[in-house]
């Protein structure tokens, strides 16, 4: 009973909601209609908000759990990877944005593998990584937005996010290699 009550806490439910919103966003992007993109943008922004809400509630209401520590990053990757792949597939991005998104996904996969190998507590999330995620979410939102300026803004936001991503990835690997 105790384990079940920890799994179904509000932050975990919010993470599950983010996972559930992901296929809706991707489906709307594949329609390739201006109104569908507007709906996809609104839902994507809501999904991004859940990333901050679940962590905030978990910390401030003291509702952290081992399950949540695994579920939250999974939900993040599910949202970001799925939407990124959909944007690439639907040709919403040029070569630069494709490269930035690909490098960030590669870095996230490498850091996730590193954390699995050495343990999450030994590789805590750096504040720069949170800034990276914010820029990445804004860049993807700019790609989704049916706007003339969205393409330019997305390129710069993803460039900054990719730079921070590679920097923090290097920091994580350096931190682990110094310990071992």
User: Are residues 63 and 136 both part of a single domain?
Assistant: no
If asked whether residues 53 and 101 sit together in one domain, one would say no
Residues 149 and 116 in one domain: yes
What is the model's pTM? Answer: 0.88
For residues 85-113, average pLDDT:
91
Compute the CA torsion angle 91, 93, 97, 100 (nearest 10 deg): -30
Same domain as 42, residue 4:
yes
What mean pLDDT is predicted for residues 94-116?
Answer: 91
Whether residues 112 and 63 share a domain: the answer is: no
- In this structure, the dihedral spanned by the alpha carbons of residues 122, 114, 71 and 155, taken in order and rounded to 10 degrees, is 110
Categorize the per-residue pLDDT at 172 as very low, low, confident or very high, splitting at 50, 70 and 90.
confident
Is pLDDT of 16 > 90? yes
**80 found inside a domain:** no
Give the whole-number percent of the chain exceeding pLDDT 70: 93
**62, pLDDT greater than 50:** yes
Residues 60 and 135 placed together within one structural domain of the fold: no
* Residues 66 and 104 both lie in one domain: no
What is the span of the domain harbouring residue 107? 93-180
Q: Note whether residue 78 is domain-resident.
A: no
> What does the pLDDT average to over 53-82?
85
Q: Indicate whether 88 belongs to any domain.
A: no
Q: Is 159 in contact with 100 (CB distance < 8 Å)?
A: yes
- Are 66 and 98 members of one domain? no
Classify residue 84: in a domain, yes or no: no
Are residue 7 and residue 52 in the same domain, yes or no? yes
Q: Is pLDDT above 60 for 4?
A: no
Q: Is the pLDDT assigned to residue 1 strictly greater than 50?
A: no
pLDDT in tens, 110-164: 988 888 888 766 677 778 888 999 999 999 999 999 877 778 899 999 999 999 9
Q: Is 94 exposed, middle or buried, given 0-12, 13-18 or 19+ CB atoms closer than 10 A?
A: exposed
Residues 6+ apart with CB under 8 A from 179: 118, 122
Asked if 172 and 116 sit in the same domain, the reply is yes
**Number of domains the chain contains:** 2
Domain shared by 44 and 8, yes or no: yes
Looking at residue 5, its pLDDT comes to: 54
Per-residue pLDDT band at 7 (split at 50, 70, 90): low
Mean pLDDT on 154-179: 91
Q: DSSP class of residue 9? A: S
Residues 11 and 52 in one domain: yes
Torsion of CA 90, 96, 100, 102, to 10 degrees: 50
């Amino acid at each position: 009973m105790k384990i079940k009550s920890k799994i179904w806490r509000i932050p975990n439910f919010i993470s599950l909601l983010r996972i559930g919103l992901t296929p809706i966003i991707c489906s709307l992007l594949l329609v390739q209609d201006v109104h569908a993109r507007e709906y996809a943008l609104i839902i994507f922004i809501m999904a991004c908000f859940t990333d901050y809400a679940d962590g905030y509630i978990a910390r401030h209401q003291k509702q952290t759990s081992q399950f949540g520590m695994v579920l939250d990053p999974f939900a993040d990757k599910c949202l970001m990877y799925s939407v990124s792949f959909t944007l690439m597939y639907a040709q919403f991005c040029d070569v630069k944005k494709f490269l930035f998104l690909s490098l960030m996904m590669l870095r996230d996969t490498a850091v996730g593998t590193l954390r699995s190998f050495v343990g999450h507590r030994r590789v805590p999330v750096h504040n720069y990584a949170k800034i990276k995620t914010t820029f990445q979410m804004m860049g993807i939102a700019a790609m989704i937005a049916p706007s003339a300026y969205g393409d330019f803004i997305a390129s710069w936001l993803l460039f900054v996010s990719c730079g921070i991503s590679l920097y923090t990835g290097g920091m994580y690997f350096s931190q682990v290699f110094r310990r071992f």
